[in-house]
Amino acid sequence: MMNVWNGGIGQLVCNQLTQKYGKKIQFIKKNQFELTNIHYLIVLDDSGSMGENQGFQRNSILNQHNQIATSQNQSQIPTQQNQSQIPTQQNQSQIPTQQNPSLIPTQQNQSQISKYQNIQLQKQTYQLNPQNSYYRQKMLQLKKQTQIATQQKPSQISTQQILLQSATEQSQFQIAKQKTPFEIAKQGCINCMKDIQTNPLARVSLIIFNSEARVEIDCEEVNVEDQSKRFTYKSGNTCFENAFKEVYNLIQKHSNKNFEKQVILFYTDGQADYPKNAMEQFAALPQEQKQTISLIVCTQDNFPATLSQMVSDLKKSGFQAELQKNVQVEQIELVWTEIIQNGIHIKE
């Protein structure tokens, strides 16, 4: 069931959508709409790996491909030592002409060249990160695409023509402009904050951490235009201890505001040591306060031993805690939006 809060023609719109999609769209009146007094604490990793631009790596590979291909193509230039490349009556038939149009590049086979070469480029890029499950999945997809592209690859295309197409293919040169993981995560967080903004009772905090941790937003009402500027990247190693100490400090600092819920949205792309001191601080909180605190840990890692232990210990201590593994930065918005929407309830 999907819930829609609207006025005026809201009921009519819901009825039409229900009929069109075959799924109940419920109309909710304003006086049935209940908001939760809630504090969201976003904790975002900005360690060194979050600043790496995969596009730069891919562009480097493209340059290497071009250099190798250029070298190979130069070896085919007619010389006294390479007489076979000098046009003769015998090999004149291999030169593209109006009488021999099969060797002239066309829009169709140039497109096939571009597709085939781009797949090879992507394969080498993902091979840079074989330990990452996201890239392993991509490699499996690309193997299938390679088989298709290979079957469609024209048999009579020269290296020079491939280089020409590669040089004019604008999309490949846009690779270097690809966003870093931190920039992608930042945009996902900002979009989540827009959802939080629909609840006037909600407040948001932002902690960004590497080996150190810094509070960029301190339990404020959401103002996306201003607060989006506070997502700054600094790089460094990864340390959970300082990050969770700052989370604890913020919760205690604003404990007098009597939040019904305090939701910690934590994302990291790596591992770190167990934050023993911070975990002891959380364990010492009163049971009544623990029941208001939830931790949602998202990590790119597929085997996060430290985070698994942290979530397990917090649950034993009386907190609500959840670990989601193998979450890519592109998925942060999807995962957290669902959690945020649970902070807005419909009265029974």
- The full DSSP string for 156-198 is S--HHHHHHHHHH-HHHHTGGGPPPHHHHHHHHHHHHHHHHTT
- Number of structural domains, the chain? 3
232-243 pLDDT, tens digit each: 999 999 999 999
**Of 177, 206, 234, which one is at a domain's C-terminal end?**
177
Instruction: Tell me the pLDDT of the chain averaged across its residues.
Output: 75
pLDDT of residue 69: 53
pLDDT at 237: 94
Structural domain contains residue 92:
no
Report which of 247, 245, 252 is spatially closest to residue 206, judged by C-alpha positions: 247
- Let me know if residue 116 belongs to a domain: yes
In whole angstroms, what is the distance from residue 190 CA to residue 196 CA? Answer: 10
Q: Which of the listed ranges 70-74, 226-230, 341-345 does the model predict with the highest average pLDDT?
A: 226-230
What's the whole-number mean pLDDT along residues 298-312? 95
* Mean of pLDDT values over 20-43: 75
Same domain? For 117 and 190 the reply is: no
Better-scored residue on pLDDT, 122 or 253: 253
Rg for the chain (alpha carbons), in Å?
28
Q: Give the residue from 177, 210, 229 where a domain finishes.
A: 177
Is residue 187 in a domain?
yes
Say yes or no: 226 and 262 in one domain: yes
Residue 131, pLDDT > 80, answer: no
Residue 81 placed within a domain: no
The better pLDDT of the pair 19, 3 is held by: 19
Mean predicted confidence (pLDDT) in 175-186: 79
Q: What is the mean pLDDT of residues 196-211?
A: 94
Instruction: Look at 178 and 56; give whichever has higher pLDDT.
Output: 178
Q: Is residue 318 part of a domain?
A: yes
Q: What is the pLDDT of residue 345?
A: 43
What average pLDDT does range 156-178 have in this prediction?
48
Residue 175 has a pLDDT of 43
pLDDT exceeds 60 at position 221: yes
Report CA-CA distances (Å) from 112 to 20, 87, 88, 150. Answer: 40, 28, 31, 9
pLDDT score, position 178: 75
Residues 132 and 232 in one domain: no
Residues 137, 165 share a domain: yes
> Containing domain of residue 136, as a range?
54-70+107-177
162 and 191: one domain?
no
pTM: 0.60
Residue with tokens 């902690």: 207
Classify strands 38-45 and 203-209 as parallel, antiparallel or unpaired: parallel
216 and 333 together in one domain: yes
Q: Is the pLDDT of residue 145 over 90?
A: no
- Percentage of the chain with pLDDT > 90? 47
Residue 340 lies in a domain: yes
- Classify residue 173: in a domain, yes or no: yes
End residue of a domain, out of 139, 154, 177? 177
- Going edge to edge, which strands form the sheet with 320-324? 213-220, 203-209, 38-45, 261-268, 293-299, 320-324
Mean pLDDT for 112-128 is 53
- 50 or 171: whose pLDDT is higher? 50
